[in-house]
Amino acid sequence: MRFRKAVAALLTIAFVAVIATAVVTEFVKNEDKDVNAPEPLLITFWGDSIAEGVLGPSPLKERDSYAYFAIVGRDNGYIYKNRSVSGHQTSNMLEYILRPDENAYLTDTLMRTSDIIHISILGNDLLQNSLGAMVVNYAKGDSSSLDANIAKARSNFAEIMDHIASVNPDAFVMINTVYNPMFEGSAILPQSCIDEMHALGMDSADIRATGSAMLAELNGIIFDYLAEHEGAYVVIDAEAEFDRIFSEDEERGKGLLYKDGVHPSNEGHAVIADLIQRALEKEGLANEATALANYKQLRTEQLARLYAGTADTSENRARIAGAASVEEVTYAYFRAIDGYSPVYYD
């Protein structure tokens, strides 16, 4: 009996000692933490496949280094969540964000609690509604199909933005414009459509100009809503930046698109990420020096991981290290890997 009591006493002492050690250890850990350090911001990404970043980033295993949502999240140390859905038109997105939480995706909770919200939408409202015929008809002077789809998208877009403003009025919201994917040779239009436009006397410049004119109507939805709701969001003008690059260097401009002619390529994602980064810095939600350093590290690590023995040279690393902006890092990295195939790893 005495033996059992002695063992019980020893076990009790040992248990208390373990608990005390754990408490002290946790106290020391907490003492090491900077209690004044701000919590990382929560940024969420919504919309279509461009934002989802599944088609475009290649190889797909590099999605967390090539898709713009991941670049922005990693460079700035944000908590980042992607709730975009491939194929979504404005009607789908509206229905999606109006749902209550249904599963671990917590879409409603994330929409309500995000510090920063980024949206890419509208493109599928044209793409999934007989785009080829719509383009040819527009070139012939018949805009009825475009007008009908624009009207529906405009109404849905307004409801999307009104809902976001009602559930999370303090969030910093960014909206991508839709870039122009139309040029002769792009996979977005079948050759039969190109042939019809040629038959109308249109050349390559006219074909691209047709895309620009149609997108002026589509992106007008974004600018018109903002004119009526000042400060509702900041426009990430991907169309203007892609056009600028295309006009300065047509081959690079074409290379901003993935081979399907619809989605951004790896470099296209990087260009959009750079635009988002500038908007965040202007709003005071990102530190320029920190983001630049993190972006240099991300690209340098990719060189080593994907291009060992080819583009991963001391000269290319030096160009990235010496870049003065995220835009310069993007340019240096993609010029370095141009013409090389990545190493596909397990």
Nearest CA to 56 out of 229, 228, 268, 304 is that of 268
Owner of token pair 């229905």: 95
Kindly give, in sequence order, each residue whose CB lies less than 8 Å from that of residue 246, ignoring residues fewer than 6 positions away. Answer: 180, 183, 252, 253, 254, 256
Domains in the chain: boundaries = 42-286, 287-341
Pairing between strand 42-47 and 116-120? parallel
Q: How far apart (Å, rounded) are the C-alpha atoms in residues 64 and 74?
A: 9
Nearest CA to 219 out of 242, 196, 197 is that of 242
Q: For residue 79, which amino acid is it?
A: I
Q: In tens digits, what is the pLDDT along the chain, a chain of 346 residues? A: 444 444 444 444 444 444 444 444 444 444 454 667 789 999 999 999 999 999 889 999 999 999 999 999 999 999 999 999 999 999 999 999 999 999 999 999 999 999 999 999 999 999 999 999 999 999 999 999 999 999 999 999 999 999 999 999 999 999 999 999 999 899 999 999 999 999 999 999 999 999 999 999 999 999 999 999 999 999 999 999 999 999 999 999 999 999 999 999 999 999 999 999 999 999 999 999 999 999 999 999 999 999 999 999 999 999 999 999 999 999 999 999 999 999 977 6
Q: What is the pLDDT of residue 344?
A: 79
> What pTM value is reported for the model?
0.89
Classify residue 60 by its DSSP letter: G
Q: Is the peptide bond before 181 cis (omega within 30 degrees of 0)?
A: no
Is 301 buried (19+), middle (13-18) or exposed (0-12) by CB count in 10 A?
Answer: exposed
- Cα three-residue angle 116-232-102, rounded to 5 degrees: 50
**CATH number, domain 42-286:** 3.40.50.1110
Backbone angles phi, psi at 129, to 5 degrees: -125, 60
Nearest CA to 136 out of 216, 192, 212, 203 is that of 192
- Helices (H) and strands (E) counted in the chain, each on its own, are 17, 5
DSSP for 116-148, please give it: EEEEE-SHHHHHTTTHHHHHHHHHTT--HHHHH
